Structure 1
């Protein structure tokens, strides 16, 4: 009886493991529209901010040009774009995201626009730790047709290496206190936002954005 019970438990564990693996499989991105559009220039819109930290929008905005440029795209200067919006009475990301793609195409002449939403930005505190997390999602839209070419999401934190220090409970409490002070007196989210931007917008990653025409790895097929 015991052997039968153990076999049944083992079978159930295998089934649960297989089901869990199946549930975590990532669906491959369909790049058909992306390859048909072949965007060469990208307009980055100021990100929507769903976090409580007001620094999130411009912290992300200032760091998204680099990975896209490295991927092989011409990126319109974000400061010039932001100033153009302000001069036309559009001062909030929500208002800017509501502008029709065709109108953005008319104003800036870019092939595609990047719509980004920051869903998490800043530190969360516990007794023994202070972790800064930045999470963002994005979609690339063809400004001529309004078609979504690609979508993605990424997360980064300043605690990904874990806490390998010694010192026991007292050492952990001291380290946590120091970390909280540093996070409070500086924008600790800014470098983490840079890491999240790289993960979100670097080409060559699984289900990531494709290489652009300025890259040696650009594929025309």
Structure 2
């Protein structure tokens, strides 16, 4: 498959997952509360190396919810691939890691960059940490919260190319009465658990992490030659 066709395929997958923003910066839908906190930095080394291919390693989960890594992983993959980079699919990455004896995703960040370069052959690797993930039930509201950190590291030199943070929260709340608040919290606990509320919020957090003006677009982006940041400009 040609690179352009593969990129279009990723865009289609992104729309299916609902993980992509409507513009260069993600928008929050459904009445949630967005807290981007995108403290992102692109280093001078990025401009020198200009990585085109990036392997996204399985996110390291520091949250209590054991589903965090598997939920966040595909969203980060789609966001980065749609930014114009060549990105191996998560299933391929996981299979390669297992073939090389790595089954604990919590240890992936300890793998030497030389080994990652040998195994995956990409220009860089994206390391992701999940600091918070899950649905938090409070007295009168239900909050889904996802906090992510990301580091883009060169597999040629081991140097940091980019880093960023993203926080996203979505809140269910009815302020009509105390009784309504309590009922809403109870109902939300049942409904949101069954539909994995935090999974959708993870998509917004991943979009905020990747879709920052400080992370230049990859070589596959149609607009990469214009300003190096926006991957596409949809109709408003």
- In structure 2, the CA distance between the partners of 1:30 and 1:97, relative to structure 1 (3 Å rule), is closer
Any runs of at least 4 consecutive aligned residues in structure 1 with deviations exceeding 4 A, and if so which?
A: none
Per-residue deviation, residues 134-175 of structure 1 (Å, max 9, x unmatched): 11100000001000000001011222xx74x45311111111
**Cα separation, 2, equivalents of 1:104 and 1:150:** 18
1:142 is aligned to 2:154: yes
Selected match of 2:57 from 33, 45, 60: 45
CA deviations 1:27-55 (Å, max 9, x no partner) are 88353111111100010000100001110
**Separation in structure 2 between the aligned mates of residue 88 and residue 51 of structure 1, nearest angstrom:** 26
Match of 1:54 in 2: 66
**1:30–1:58 Cα change, 3 Å:** closer
The one of 96, 119, 132 equivalent to 2:131 is 119
Distance, in Å, in 2 between the alignment partners of 1:28 and 1:151 is 5
Match of 1:168 in 2: 177
State whether structure 2 residue 218 is matched by structure 1 residue 212.
yes
Q: Structure 2 length normalisation: TM-score? A: 0.75
**Alpha-carbon distance between aligned partners in 2 of 1:69 and 1:51, rounded to the nearest angstrom:** 25
Residue in 2 aligned with 1:63? 75
Question: In the alignment, which residue of structure 1 is the partner of 2:95?
Answer: 83
Q: Cα RMSD between the aligned structures? A: 2.1
Alpha-carbon distance in 2 for matches of 1:139, 1:34: 12
Kindly indicate whether structure 1 or structure 2 has the higher relative contact order, using CA contacts under 8 Å at least 6 residues apart: 2
1:195 aligns with 2:201: no
Q: Residues 135 and 144 of structure 2 are in contact (CA less than 8 Å); yes or no, is this contact kept in structure 1?
A: yes
Is it true that 1:181 corresponds to 2:187 in the alignment? no
The C-alpha deviation readout for 1:88-142, integer Å capped at 9, x for no partner, is 2101122221111111111111000000000000012211011010111000000
Tell me what 1:29 maps to. 41
> 1:19 maps to which residue?
none
User: Within 1, Cα distance between the matches of 2:139 and 2:39?
Assistant: 38
- 1:35-91 Cα distance to aligned partner (Å, 9 max, x none): 111100010000100001110011111111221122111101110110111122101
Distance 1:167 1:114, change over 3 A: same
TM superposition shift of 1:178: 0.7
Write the distance in 1 (CA, Å) between the matches of 2:92 and 2:158.
Answer: 23
Whole-angstrom distance in 2 between the partners of 1:94 and 1:171: 41
1:176: how far off? 1.2
Q: Which runs of 5+ in 1 are unaligned?
A: 1-25
